[in-house]
Amino acid sequence: MAFDGNTRAGKRKKKRLYLVLTTMTILVLAVGLVLTALEDSISLFLDPSELKERNIADGQHIRLGGLVVEDSFVKDSDGLTYYFDVTDGAETVSVTYKGSLPDLFREGQGVVLEGKTNSKGPFNASEVLAKHDENYMPKEVMDSLKKRGVYRDANEEESI
């Protein structure tokens, strides 16, 4: 399997090895550059801080992601409209949404909202998607963790 650089076949193998290595390096660099350039369009959503920073014009279709603030969830008397706040720890955005919520939607949970930007009032979401975190735990374990106060709420974690 070794390269015998002295034989003709060995030299050709070495040449092919270098060809593979250089081609792959150039390709990886090219793809890396493209992905870096497209970073904004590849990311699925903006967080509340990014939304404030960027001063996006009203009426733009965007996705907003963050954690639902504890105790901010209110159901309207019509039973269909929901009000809640979404935060990334630094900034908070108020949201209204009319429609059905996914199973995983709850306070403290990550959500991704689709809707149009609106600097005057709350963010009017046309679609609400719930984000699941990477933690899986049996119910009993979670209950005992909560009882002992060991469990850190999702709000305190840095990422969603």
Partner 1 sequence: MHKFANPARFLRISRLITPWCFILTLVSLVVGLYWGLFVAPEDYQMGSAYRIIFVHVPAAHMSEICYGFMAVVSVVAIIWKHPLADQSARAAAPIGAAFTALALLTGSLWGKPMWGTFWIWDARLTSELLLLFLYFGYMAVWEAIDDRVQAARIAAVVALVGAINLPIIKFSVNWWNTLHQPASLLKSGGSGMHPDMLWPLLISILAFYLYFVTVLLWRIQTLIIRRQIRGLQMRLADEKNKKGLN
Least Å distance, CB 120 to partner 1, is 26
Comparison of 120 and 139: residue with beta carbon closer to partner 1 = 139
What mask of x and - would describe binding to partner 1 in positions 56 to 85, judged by CB under 8 A?
Answer: ---------x--------------------
- Residue 85 contacts residue 92 (beta carbons within 8 Å): yes
Instruction: Report the residue from 26, 31, 33, 37 that binds partner 1 according to the rule CB under 8 A.
Output: 31
CA 151 to chain centre: 23
Comparison of 69 and 112: residue with beta carbon closer to partner 1 = 112
Q: Per CB under 8 A, does 37 bind partner 1?
A: no
Q: Which two tokens stand for residue 154?
A: 């999702």
Q: Per CB under 8 A, does 154 bind partner 1?
A: no
Give dist(CA 90, CA 64) in Å, integer: 14
Q: Per CB under 8 A, does 104 bind partner 1?
A: yes
Instruction: Report the residue from 61, 139, 147, 148 that binds partner 1 according to the rule CB under 8 A.
Output: 139
Q: What is the DSSP letter of 119?
A: S
CA angle 67, 71, 75 (to 5 degrees): 95
Q: Per CB under 8 A, does 48 bind partner 1?
A: no
Give dist(CA 99, CA 128) in Å, integer: 9
Instruction: Report the residue from 6, 8, 39, 120 that binds partner 1 according to the rule CB under 8 A.
Output: 39
Instruction: Report the residue from 26, 126, 132, 153 that binds partner 1 according to the rule CB under 8 A.
Output: 132
The contacts of residue 97 (CB under 8 Å, 6+ apart) are: 81, 82, 83, 84, 113, 124, 125, 128
Cα 101 to Cα 2, 20, 106, 130, 134: the distances in Å are 61, 50, 9, 8, 21
Residues that bind partner 1 (CB under 8 A): 1, 13, 16-17, 20, 24, 27-28, 31, 35, 39, 42-47, 65, 101-105, 112, 127-143, 159
